[in-house]
Amino acid sequence: MKFFSSRLIAWQRTHGRHGLPWQGADAYRVWLSEIMLQQTQVATVIPYFQRFVISFPNIDALAAATEEQVLAHWSGLGYYARGRNLHKAAQIIAEKYHGEFPREFAQILELPGIGRSTAAAICALAYHQHRAILDGNVKRVLARYCGVEGWTGEKRVEEKLWQQAEALLPLHDVAIYTQALMDMGATVCVRSKPKCVLCPAQADCIALQTERTAELPTPRPRKTVPERYATFLLLMHGNDILLEKRPGSGIWGGLWCPPQFDDEEASRDWFVRNRMDASEGERLETFTHTFTHFKLHITPLKIQLARKPLHAAQPGSVWLDVEEALQAAIPMPVRTVLQELTRRMG
């Protein structure tokens, strides 16, 4: 890791991005660019940045504008909270610092919409202060270069990356070094297929040496899908089955389903409430239906009735021959159950 920063600085001078409208500008413009560049590409940001600084050439002008005017200039950039925070921060700066962008890291960090890395970027780029940055691109570069495993959104991993970022920081040319890291992340050490042959850090990059450039940074862990359970009560009278229309909202909204319960016990309470004989039912095999956000394990409980209960003639419930029910608006798991019933009737 020796000379990492000097290699990056030399690379930035010849291969980095130059002539961006906020480079070498005052803290206001650096701040504005940093906020606009969050979640947005440089090419998209440039025309927005230019229009913005024409309309609001300084912090006082921005603070004096209405929120509507600011958001109209932001329109199309997305993530409008950024525009609103920018406006709020300008008003704070106008009032508290007489329109002069503060120079202290802690003062900058207090402003709305500015996190640790953005505050550090403003300090490094506008004031040449000795501050390390760690935005999304830099996390990727450092996770690869230093071989840091683990999802970078995890506190423990992020802390490790901050330590690396601080350790690699040069004593001089911090602004160029900061720009180099940003440029490297945007143009060379890109998300997929990094261009390692063009990289100033290739000689001692751990991911490259250990052939893990595709594995690092470790992707966000897949969320485990919650598991839920349901009992379908298959009330049968001859070949007829009772179906109920589901409420319009929620899963299977407006479709026809057998009465559904969280478990068998709850289905038996239903029997008691409806003054029906909770005779022994036949438990069919449990099967699983997968939704995008959860898995539903369904156990159908089949109960053959000697006569149709009166309550079931209510609106919203219907007795249908199983074959007929298969033609109705039913969700896939109900179809599976009905098909199993016709197979058994066979």
Under rule CB under 6 A, residue 144 binds ligand SF4: yes
Under rule CB under 6 A, residue 77 binds ligand SF4: no
* Annotated catalytic residue 34: yes
Residues 212-251 that bind ligand SF4 (CB under 6 A): 213
Nearest approach in angstroms of CB 120 to ligand SF4 is: 20
The mark string for 270-309 relative to ligand SF4 (x by CB under 6 A, - otherwise) is ----------------------------------------
Stretch that binds ligand SF4, among 28-36, 157-165, 189-197, 336-344 (CB under 6 A): 189-197
Stretch that binds ligand SF4, among 33-41, 160-168, 198-206, 281-289 (CB under 6 A): 198-206
Judged by CB under 6 A, the residue of 35, 86, 205, 303 near ligand SF4 is: 205
Stretch that binds ligand SF4, among 57-65, 188-196, 295-303, 327-335 (CB under 6 A): 188-196
Under rule CB under 6 A, residue 177 binds ligand SF4: no
**260 neighbors 328 (Cβ within 8 angstroms):** no
Rg over alpha carbons for the chain, rounded to the nearest Å, is 31
Under rule CB under 6 A, residue 38 binds ligand SF4: no
Under rule CB under 6 A, residue 207 binds ligand SF4: yes
Judged by CB under 6 A, the residue of 143, 176, 189, 298 near ligand SF4 is: 189
Judged by CB under 6 A, the residue of 83, 194, 258, 300 near ligand SF4 is: 194
Under rule CB under 6 A, residue 208 binds ligand SF4: yes
Judged by CB under 6 A, the residue of 202, 239, 299, 336 near ligand SF4 is: 202
Instruction: Pick the closer one to ligand SF4 by CB: 49 or 145.
Output: 145
Under rule CB under 6 A, residue 181 binds ligand SF4: no
Stretch that binds ligand SF4, among 4-12, 38-46, 203-211, 307-315 (CB under 6 A): 203-211
Please state the φ and ψ torsions of residue 245, each to the nearest 5 degrees. Answer: -85, 125
In 3D, which of 177, 86, 169 has the Cα closest to residue 125?
177
CA dihedral 246, 314, 321, 345 (to 10 degrees): 80
CA dihedral 113, 118, 122, 124 (to 10 degrees): 160
If binding means CB under 6 A, how many residues of this protein chain bind ligand SF4?
14
Nearest approach in angstroms of CB 193 to ligand SF4 is: 10
Instruction: Pick the closer one to ligand SF4 by CB: 29 or 144.
Output: 144
| Interacting residues toward ligand SF4 by CB under 6 A | 141, 144-145, 188-189, 194, 196, 199, 201-202, 205, 207-208, 213
Q: Give the residue numbers marked as catalytic.
A: 34
